[in-house]
Structure 1
Amino acid sequence: MGRIFTVELDGRIYCCRFCRTHLAVADDLISRSFHSNRGKAYLFNSVANISVGALEERMLLSGMHTVADVFCCFCGQIVGWKYEAAHEKGQKYKEGKFVLERDRIVDGFESEFYIDTRLSGSDADDI
């Protein structure tokens, strides 16, 4: 086994829900209107820190596709899939793109960089 090296992404990021490894940047987000068996999913141009599983033919809502599951390279959890080939002409734009399932990722902006902006009392209020 060896060391696992991960890439730290800059800007607004999406992370693995299980281990917080950086997976994608918001600038690579194409669409939030995708769906998976578990619910909502996001389509990305590219992702990082993943490993790609075996290719398989899968019938999805938009038709038959050749896809490969993608896993977080740090914790090994499945986080989505990669479109390798689309069988229908109108779906070719998905080839080479990645889907990350919303229940498998967290928005790094909301979870890691949250600043509490509620008003609080001053030190004088404690006296």
Structure 2
Amino acid sequence: GRNVAANPSGADDAQLSLDMLRQKIPRLASDEPIFFDHPVDFGDPEIDGKSIAELIKGKPRFSPVEGLDKSVWEGKHCDGCHEWNEARLCEQSKNFAANDVSVLRLQHPLGTRFKVALAKWAQGGCK
């Protein structure tokens, strides 16, 4: 096997990859704290000015599952499939906060900035 301690370039490469991914995470339009029931400035005109509480009762902008026929999800409300509430959403949001690049993994039905906001909300204690 390779002696990673003697040649840490593998770790350096991993860090470089992580740094490059982090550059792709969209920034929110505001650095203000995020609250569950207060309007958020996401930096996305489609969802700006809405709260997390409002958005989880709304309709998806993108398919929740890649390749899913539009007739299954378009025009439907998120709560038709999900039973999100503040506590459940906080638990999910903590995952995004713990692993920041995870927000890039899958396209979210409300967009990536929504996941970025959820992570920030969790970092602030899910208030």
So what's the TM-score if we normalise by structure 1? 0.26
Q: Scaled by the length of structure 2, what TM-score is found?
A: 0.26
Task: Give the structure with the higher percent helix.
Answer: 2
Q: Tell me: higher relative CO, structure 1 or 2? Use CA pairs within 8 A at least 6 residues apart.
A: 2
Higher strand proportion, which one?
1
